């Protein structure tokens, strides 16, 4: 996918190395990406990441990941500071939206850009708030908390389908692997009733997703995951409408540090926010 412009601005699908570069830009913006996010991001849709170049210089990025035929998610929308104000970002935006033609599109945008997104047809669904802090917890001694191993993966994939507008098995099979992240499930009477994933970030650790049937299961999963962070800072990106999630974060000493606007172009999916205690990532939904 390449678009030549009179001023030698071109757009192409990112290579894996390009995606690593875009994640570094996200870190420079203060978004605190995970240390090993790029591999799973790329697995979700290898063609879903576009980079803009001024000549040979990479200057802008956007992710436009396609989930099935019905849904896409937009993220990593960055123009390097020294290249802003030249219209490159808007051209890349247009190419990204073309990539998602015919799909409902979601994004988690910084609040300052909400009006711009609205002009492109996006409507606010709710705010997401990032809570952070050094939570000091002991791991719960509860046999219902189990590692997501090969025997549990299929059940966790099935559980996840209630929480996302389309199946995302390729992404999750990577995200749930035990090499760079730690995934735990709450299993009661043979049924998955919640799961969460902990990953190391540039600063501290993020928990995401954190989905659970109720506050009890969410709290046990949160404590089990946080105990594995060794006292480092924990960040949890939660949907503001979920008051139980806010209680959970506050109870463990976390406080708001950042927020985004969850917006959709097209009909907003009916997702169970009351059971969503932590979203997966601001980049991929």
Q: In the chain, what are the domain boundaries? A: 9-115, 130-278
> Domain 130-278, CATH 3.40.630.90 — does that match?
yes
Conformational region of residue 135, where left means phi above 0, alpha means psi within -120 to 50, and beta covers everything else: beta
Q: What pLDDT digit, counting tens, does each position of 66-86 carry?
A: 998 999 999 999 999 999 999
What's the pTM? 0.94
Q: Report the percentage of the chain scoring pLDDT > 90.
A: 92
**The token pair that represents 55 in the structure block:** 């000549």
Q: What pLDDT digit, counting tens, does each position of 86-133 carry?
A: 999 999 999 999 999 999 999 999 888 899 999 999 999 999 999 999
State how far the Cα of 242 lies from the Cα of 79, in Å rounded to an integer: 32
Q: Report the percentage of the chain scoring pLDDT > 70.
A: 98
Class of domain 9-115: alpha beta
């Amino acid at each position: 996918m390449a678009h030549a412009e009179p001023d030698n601005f071109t757009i192409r699908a990112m290579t894996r190395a390009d995606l690593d570069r875009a994640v570094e830009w996200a870190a420079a913006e203060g978004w605190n990406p995970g240390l090993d996010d790029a591999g799973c991001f790329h697995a979700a849709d290898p063609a879903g990441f576009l980079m803009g170049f001024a000549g040979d210089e990479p200057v802008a990025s956007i992710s436009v990941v396609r989930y099935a035929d019905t849904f896409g998610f937009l993220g990593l929308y960055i123009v390097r500071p020294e290249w802003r104000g030249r219209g490159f970002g808007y051209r890349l935006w247009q190419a990204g939206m073309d990539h998602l033609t015919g799909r409902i599109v979601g994004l988690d945008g910084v609040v300052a850009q909400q009006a711009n997104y609205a002009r492109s047809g996006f409507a606010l669904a709710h705010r997401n708030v990032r809570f952070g802090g050094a939570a000091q917890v002991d791991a719960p001694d509860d046999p219902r908390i189990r590692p997501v191993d090969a025997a549990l993966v299929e059940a966790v994939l099935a559980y996840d389908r209630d929480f996302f507008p389309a199946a995302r098995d390729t992404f999750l099979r990577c995200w749930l692997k035990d090499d760079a992240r730690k995934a735990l499930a709450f299993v009661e009477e043979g049924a998955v009733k919640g799961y969460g994933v902990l990953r190391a970030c540039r600063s501290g650790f993020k928990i995401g997703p954190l989905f659970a049937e109720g506050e009890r299961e969410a709290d046990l999963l949160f404590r089990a995951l946080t105990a594995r962070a060794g006292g480092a800072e924990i960040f949890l990106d939660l949907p503001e409408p979920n008051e139980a999630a806010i209680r959970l974060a506050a109870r463990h000493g976390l406080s708001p540090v950042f927020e985004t606007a969850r917006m959709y172009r097209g009909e907003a999916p009916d997702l169970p926010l009351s059971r969503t205690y932590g979203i997966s990532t601001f980049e991929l939904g």
